[in-house]
Amino acid sequence: MGQLSVVQISEIIIRNTESPSVAGIGLSLSSVIWNIYLIGVIVMTVRFLLSLFHIYRLVGKSKTKTVSGIEYVFISADLPVFSFFHMIFIRKEIYDNPHVTAIINHEKTHVSQKHSLDLLILELLSIFQWFNPFIYLVKRAVKENHEFIADSGITVSESITNGYMNLLFQEASGVKSSPLTHNFSYSLLKKRVIMMKNQKSQKRMPVKLLLSMLALTVALFACNNTKTSSPNEAHKGAPVNKVEKAIKSNETPAGQKAIPARVDTGKIFKVLEDMPEFPGGRKNLMNYLAKNITYPEEALKAKIEGRVFVSFIVEKDGSITHVKVLRGIGHGCDKESVRVVENMPRWIPGKQKGKPVRCIFNLPLKFVR
Calculate mean pLDDT across residues 341-361: 89
CA distance 48 to 35: 20
Calculate mean pLDDT across residues 43-59: 93
Specify the pLDDT at position 150: 78
Q: Considering only CA atoms, which of 83, 31, 89 is closest in space to residue 63?
A: 89
pLDDT band for position 191 (cuts 50, 70, 90): low
Mean pLDDT for the chain overall: 74
Per residue in 120-141, pLDDT (tens digit) is 999 999 999 999 999 999 988 8
Name 310's bridge partners: 325, 363
Whether pLDDT at 89 is above 60:
yes
Q: Considering only CA atoms, which of 268, 249, 248, 251 is closest in space to residue 260?
A: 268
Calculate mean pLDDT across residues 29-54: 92
Calculate mean pLDDT across residues 250-263: 40
Calculate mean pLDDT across residues 281-299: 88
Per residue in 146-189, pLDDT (tens digit) is 888 877 766 544 444 555 666 666 665 544 556 667 655 445 55
More confident residue, 236 or 275: 275
Specify the pLDDT at position 324: 93
DSSP state of 90: E
Per residue in 299-335, pLDDT (tens digit) is 888 888 899 999 999 888 999 999 999 999 999 999 9
The residue type found at 258 is A
Enumerate the H helices of the chain as residue ranges.
29-61, 92-95, 100-112, 115-128, 133-152, 158-171, 186-198, 201-224, 231-236, 240-248, 282-292, 297-301, 333-342
pLDDT band for position 209 (cuts 50, 70, 90): low
Specify the pLDDT at position 46: 95
Specify the pLDDT at position 320: 93
More confident residue, 347 or 186: 347
Ranges 148-157, 239-248, 340-349: which has the least confidence:
239-248
Whether pLDDT at 360 is above 60:
yes
Specify the pLDDT at position 322: 92
Specify the pLDDT at position 304: 87
More confident residue, 38 or 22: 38
Whether pLDDT at 235 is above 50:
no
Ranges 66-75, 76-85, 90-99, 249-258: which has the least confidence:
249-258
Main-chain dihedrals φ then ψ at residue 99, nearest 5 degrees: -90, 10
Calculate mean pLDDT across residues 71-93: 87
Please say whether the dihedral angle defined by the alpha carbons of residues 245, 250, 256 and 260, taken in this order, is positive or negative.
Answer: positive
Specify the pLDDT at position 81: 83
Name 5's bridge partners: 359
Q: Considering only CA atoms, which of 157, 142, 154 is closest in space to residue 109?
A: 154
24's torsion region: left (phi>0), alpha (psi -120 to 50) or beta?
A: left
pTM above 0.95, yes or no: no
